[in-house]
Copies of this chain bind each other. A is one copy, B any other.
């Protein structure tokens, strides 16, 4: 469902004020003045106009958003978190359809119009997460766009039956094949990546691989990903999420990895994690790498933090990368907008005439000010319809 709308007096990316005419959910014209009394009018009050924010990496199926506070219980290792999560999923009522809906609406409230979410597929939950999130996204399809990555959180080869479930998830409608730490979890980097890329080939789908593995170990996994991307002609269809190894101390090796990623058009996703080495966003961008951004888990058994605000995410990425100038902060915001759109292959994303009218209107002189101040007052337009007004989801939506 799309709409007509005239947005008066907004400043695209902080530029001069203009009106935006939306016809059938798309930007039809941008110019000041001219009455259009026959369609709804939204007064932008001279505020910033940004394209809708893109949450390019989260886990909608397992958030405890809106549930009673649950103290963090997992130990420090990755495997502790995976096992605690499986246990909590049995003990607590973390119902994927309800919980994913809560987080999706919170994302929308904060200005995100698109979400790429990883959804657990394993021999315990089977496809229930995928099915629940698919029902949720159908319900909210007029408000927010959700793309699903089938994600073998508990391991692919170490849990026989998972690969077949992953195949089933792709048949059901997951759009992206997920993977995870091929050395650390499956203990078989070649086997894991061959299986992941095999599925991607089988279904003609892109891949998005969690790679927490640090330093030279992560570098090795990344080399294997690069080799497969090149061999299979999957340029522009592969994301390495987290990619902590790009923050390793051997800067020459990291640089050579960045150059190879750029050559194969492999994107990286960063959260700007303050306690881990992270991909250097400026260096990645200068090398031509697509950088997207995500909240990762929000209020779940992995982490108690997070509020689904991608303006705040841009701030955290800015702080982590020591970005202070407007142009630097714009780089961080770009990861939370156009970087994510590129990764999700959204052909009609942006503020140009012809683009889908998926928009965020927020107070601020320039984008950098919106990032550092993260105003509560936000208006979100999806396909030309006002879906959030002053930070609240509209009842009409």
Query: What separation, in Å, do the CA atoms of A148 and B305 have in the docked complex?
Result: 34
Contact across chains for A275 and B320 when beta carbons are under 8 A apart: yes
Query: Is the beta-carbon distance between B304 and A329 smaller than 8 angstroms?
Result: yes
A274 on the B face (CB < 8 A):
yes
A30 smallest CB distance to B (angstroms): 23
Residues of B within 8 A of A373 (CB): 307
Within 8 A of B (CB), among A345-397: 364-366, 368-369, 372-373, 376
A299 at the interface (CB under 8 A from B): yes
B319, A71: Cβ atoms under 8 Å? no
Q: State A326–B306 Cα separation when bound (angstroms).
A: 15
A272 within 8 A of B: yes
Interface size class of A (residues with CB under 8 A): 35 or more
Instruction: Assess whether A68 is in contact with B376, with CB atoms less than 8 Å apart.
Output: no
Which B residues are CB-close (under 8 A) to A320? Answer: 274-275
A72 interface hit (Cβ, 8 Å): yes
A376, closest chain B residue (CB): B376
Question: Does A87 touch B at the CB level, under 8 Å?
Answer: no
Q: Tell me, yes or no, whether A139 is within 8 Å of chain B by CB.
A: no
Query: Which chain B positions have C-beta within 8 A of A315?
Result: 305
Within 8 A of B (CB), among A50-93: 68-69, 71-74
Known: A71-B366, A329-B304. A319 touches B275 (CB 8 A): yes
The count of identical subunits is 2
Is A183 among interface residues, defined by CB-CB distance under 8 A? no
Q: Which residue of B71, B272, B365 contacts A368 across the interface (Cβ within 8 Å)?
A: B71
Tell me whether A304 and B372 are in contact in the complex, defined as CB-CB below 8 angstroms, given that A275-B322, A320-B274 are known contacts: yes
A324 contacts the other chain (CB 8 A): yes
Question: A324-348: which residues lie under 8 A (CB-CB) from chain B?
Answer: 324-326, 329
Q: Counting CB contacts under 8 A, is A318 at the interface?
A: yes
Residue of B nearest to A318 (CB): B305
A321 contacts chain B at the CB level, 8 A cutoff: yes
Task: Return the chain B residue nearest A374 by Cβ.
Answer: B307
What is the minimal beta-carbon distance from A80 to any residue of chain B, in angstroms? 11
**A–B Cβ pairs within 8 angstroms, 30 of them:** A68-B365, A69-B364, A69-B365, A69-B366, A69-B368, A69-B369, A71-B326, A71-B366, A72-B325, A72-B326, A73-B325, A74-B324, A273-B319, A274-B274, A275-B319, A275-B320, A275-B321, A275-B322, A299-B372, A303-B324, A304-B324, A304-B329, A304-B368, A304-B369, A305-B318, A305-B319, A305-B372, A306-B372, A307-B373, A316-B319
Separation of A307 and B372 alpha carbons in the complex (Å): 8
A326 partner residues in chain B, CB cutoff 8 A: 71-72
Tell me how far the C-beta of A82 lies from the nearest C-beta in chain B, rounded to whole angstroms.
15
Could you tell me the distance in whole angstroms from the C-beta of A239 to the nearest C-beta in chain B? 23
In angstroms, how far is the closest chain B Cβ from the Cβ of A224? 28
Residues of B within 8 Å of A274, CB to CB, are: 272, 274, 316, 319-320
Say how far A109's CB is from chain B's closest CB, in angstroms. 13
A316 to B: closest C-beta gap in Å:
7
Shortest CB-to-CB span from A11 to chain B, Å, is 12
Nearest CB on B from A78, distance (A): 13
In the complex, which residues 296-315 of chain A have their Cβ closer than 8 Å to any Cβ of chain B? 299, 303-307, 315
